[in-house]
Copies of this chain bind each other. A is one copy, B any other.
């Protein structure tokens, strides 16, 4: 799965500069979101945080980074759910589907460790026209062994090109 194309790989060039997930930003996190092969109704991004993104106490991720990971994975996932709903494919000949964040709530349950591969997941709550509600988690492991450090909820809005 790690070698398959990610949702962000299909973002149009003009919109590929995001520090969190844009392939054209040389400085950023380059988050990569895909369908979760283990839980195909969900999406998954795997990411190991660089130690420089420390919280106040070294060894843990700073809060803004947690929000960043949920935010970028959320908007990418909203587009993926819309592509699936419309029975379209990323990179097809149609108008590219992109979502922006309307609101994001992040609940911090426990400190998020640095130096381990984190799993960021999105589950669709509701897709109604241009509005997509998602449940998000950030943790390690999966299924019954998942340990969640932060969870969230996003309202994403499909961007109108014109």
**Which B residues touch A72, using CB under 8 A?**
62-64
Q: Does A147 contact B (CB under 8 A)?
A: no
Count of identical protomers in the assembly: 2
**Which B residues touch A56, using CB under 8 A?**
11, 15-18, 22, 98
Contact pick for A71, options B17, B22, B67, B107, CB 8 Å: B67
Contact pick for A103, options B53, B98, B102, B107, CB 8 Å: B107
Chain A residues touching B, majority SS = mixed
Min CB distance A56 to B, Å, is: 4
A14 touches B57 (CB 8 A): yes
Cα–Cα distance between A134 and B78 once the two chains are bound (Å): 29
Q: Which residue of B lies closest to A16 (CB)?
A: B56
Q: Which residue of B lies closest to A71 (CB)?
A: B63
Interface size on A, residues (CB 8 A): 39
Cα–Cα distance between A159 and B3 once the two chains are bound (Å): 42
Q: Which residue of B lies closest to A29 (CB)?
A: B64
Cα–Cα distance between A19 and B63 once the two chains are bound (Å): 9
B58 touches A17 (CB 8 A): yes
**Which B residues touch A104, using CB under 8 A?**
63, 67, 105-106, 108
